[in-house]
């Protein structure tokens, strides 16, 4: 039973990493000056939450969607 729970958690982690990786890639490509009015706050909230992730977790997220963010 514990094994099944761990497998479920690992699948959920993988799914969350894919979403996070896609969001990080989107934020990295956005030009805040081109955003429609009213969306800046949502983009800022997303970016600030992505920035709180440990570097290793963010890299795992980017790897899960085969993305890379230029430094």
Per residue in 1-57, pLDDT (tens digit) is 999 999 999 999 999 999 999 999 999 888 888 888 889 889 999 999 999 999 999
What DSSP state is assigned to residue 23? Answer: H
Residue 11 lies in a domain: yes
Contact 62, 21 (CB under 8 A): yes
What does the pLDDT read at residue 71?
A: 54
| Main-chain phi, psi angles of 58, to 5 degrees | -65, -40
What does the pLDDT read at residue 67?
A: 77
Residue 47 lies in a domain: yes
Diameter of the chain measured on Cα atoms: 51
Please give the residue range of the domain that contains residue 49.
2-64
Q: How many domains does the chain have?
A: 1
Residue 70 lies in a domain: no
At 69, is the pLDDT very low, low, confident or very high (cuts 50, 70, 90)? low
What does the pLDDT read at residue 31?
A: 86
CA distance 9 to 30: 31
What does the pLDDT read at residue 30?
A: 87
């Amino acid at each position: 039973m514990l094994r099944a729970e761990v497998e479920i958690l690992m699948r959920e982690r993988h799914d969350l990493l894919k979403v996070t990786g896609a969001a990080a890639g989107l934020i990295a490509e956005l030009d805040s000056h081109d955003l429609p009015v009213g969306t800046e706050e949502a983009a800022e909230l997303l970016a600030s939450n992505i920035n709180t992730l440990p570097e290793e977790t963010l890299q795992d997220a980017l790897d899960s969607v085969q993305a890379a963010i230029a430094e």
